[in-house]
């Protein structure tokens, strides 16, 4: 697998809460945040180690073997430092597609997920 994107940002919720959000993004007791586009599909959790790591399958049917790895750490303010790493299986996508995939992960995690916590 080849790393084609990685970014870390802080979220206001503690790691255990963020971990649960990633493991079950459609929990009935939480605000919806995994707003997928027409060319995306709900990921499956390949592995998870509470509360520090989660691995998702690809969001994109056109790239079914890609993976998204999440690493969670407690931030200084008690929130979570969340890092995603996007890994491509086989040949990496072209520059335009890579930019789109990274943009979507940034939007889903650091906008939609963040706002689901009220901030």
* Domain ranges for the chain: 2-26+37-116
pLDDT digits (tens, 9 = 90+) for 42-58: 999 999 999 999 999 99
pTM of the model: 0.93
What's the CATH fold of domain 2-26+37-116? Alpha-D-Glucose-1,6-Bisphosphate; Chain A, domain 4 (3.30.530)
Going by C-alpha positions, the residue among 2, 14, 5 that lies closest to residue 78 is 14
Instruction: DSSP letter for 62, please.
Output: T
pLDDT digits (tens, 9 = 90+) for 75-110: 999 999 999 999 999 888 999 999 999 999 999 999
Going by C-alpha positions, the residue among 2, 28, 20 that lies closest to residue 90 is 2
């Amino acid at each position: 697998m080849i790393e084609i994107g990685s970014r870390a940002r802080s979220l206001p919720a503690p790691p255990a809460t963020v971990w649960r959000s990633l493991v079950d993004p459609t929990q009935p007791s939480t605000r919806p945040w995994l707003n997928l586009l027409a060319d995306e599909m709900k990921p499956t959790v390949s592995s998870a180690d509470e509360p520090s790591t989660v691995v998702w399958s690809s969001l994109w049917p056109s790239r079914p073997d890609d993976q998204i790895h999440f690493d969670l750490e407690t931030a200084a303010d008690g929130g979570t430092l969340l890092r995603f790493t996007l890994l491509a299986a086989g040949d990496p996508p072209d520059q335009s597609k890579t930019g789109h995939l990274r943009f979507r992960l940034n939007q889903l995690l650091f906008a939609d997920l963040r706002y689901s916590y009220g901030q």
